[in-house]
């Protein structure tokens, strides 16, 4: 019995570690953006209830939770790590969020054209790669909120400075 539990735990740890290393290599490590930055950026944009909110690399779902609970948005997340995605599902459940969609997919390969608002907390390398995708795919007027890292050569509509370690860059797709 003990050996069986040890094998299962080891397998789970290998899955978590390999997915985390993979997402770190292609996108960003697992970290959390400050709730106040997400809230301030969404408050600035005054989204209409029912708009589509996407988090690219949704982690434990904190931006999605704020988007759903405080702004009544339809929430969609993309996350490569299944254990982290499971935590976000649990997070939604304990907070009474009934409608959410977490895609266990690489966001670079997904169609983002239905997004009204995009949130990301990634890396400079990921923002450079997303820039082209945003230019090709997003509809004009899509709002993009990026915590800590700017989109290269795009002019932000607003930059939020608060007591958190990073700035929050807010853009509107032309």
Ligand X SMILES: C[S@@+](CC[C@H](N)C(=O)[O-])C[C@H]1O[C@@H](n2cnc3c(N)ncnc32)[C@H](O)[C@@H]1O
Written as six digits, the tokens of 1 are 């019995």
Residues 82, 90: Cα–Cα separation, whole Å: 12
3-state secondary structure 33-79: CCHHHHHHHHHHHCCCCCCEEEEECCCCCHHHHHHHHHHCCEEEEEC
Of the two residues 78 and 171, which places its CB atom closer to ligand X in the complex? 78
Residue 62 is a binding residue for ligand X (CB under 6 A): yes
Of the two residues 6 and 18, which places its CB atom closer to ligand X in the complex? 18
Residues 132, 115: Cα–Cα separation, whole Å: 16
Residue 169 is a binding residue for ligand X (CB under 6 A): no
Residue 33 is a binding residue for ligand X (CB under 6 A): yes
Q: How many CB atoms neighbour CB 157 within 10 A?
A: 13
Residue 79 is a binding residue for ligand X (CB under 6 A): yes
Taking CA atoms, 90 is separated from 5, 9, 98, in Å, by: 23, 20, 11
Contact map string, positions 89 to 118, toward ligand X, x by CB under 6 A: -----------------xxx----------
> What residues between 36 and 55 interact with ligand X by CB under 6 A?
55
Of the two residues 25 and 114, which places its CB atom closer to ligand X in the complex? 25
- Chain positions contacting ligand X, by CB under 6 A: 23, 26-33, 55, 57-59, 62-63, 78-81, 84, 106-108, 121
């Amino acid at each position: 019995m003990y050996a069986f539990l040890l094998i299962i735990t080891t397998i789970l740890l290998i899955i978590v570690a390999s997915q985390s290393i993979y997402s770190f290599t292609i996108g960003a490590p697992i970290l959390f953006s400050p709730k106040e930055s997400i809230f301030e950026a969404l408050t600035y944009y005054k989204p209409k209830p029912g708009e589509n909110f996407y988090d690219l690399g949704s982690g434990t779902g904190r931006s999605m939770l704020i988007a759903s609970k405080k702004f009544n948005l339809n929430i969609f997340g993309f996350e490569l790590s299944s254990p982290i995605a499971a935590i976000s599902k649990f997070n939604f459940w304990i907070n009474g969020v009934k409608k959410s969609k977490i895609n266990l997919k690489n966001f670079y390969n997904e169609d983002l054209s239905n997004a009204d608002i995009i949130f990301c907390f990634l890396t400079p390398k990921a923002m450079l790669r997303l820039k082209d995708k945003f230019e090709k795919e997003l509809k004009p007027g899509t709002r993009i909120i990026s915590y800590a890292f700017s989109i290269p050569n795009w002019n932000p509509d607003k930059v939020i400075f608060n007591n958190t370690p990073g700035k929050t860059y807010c853009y509107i797709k032309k």
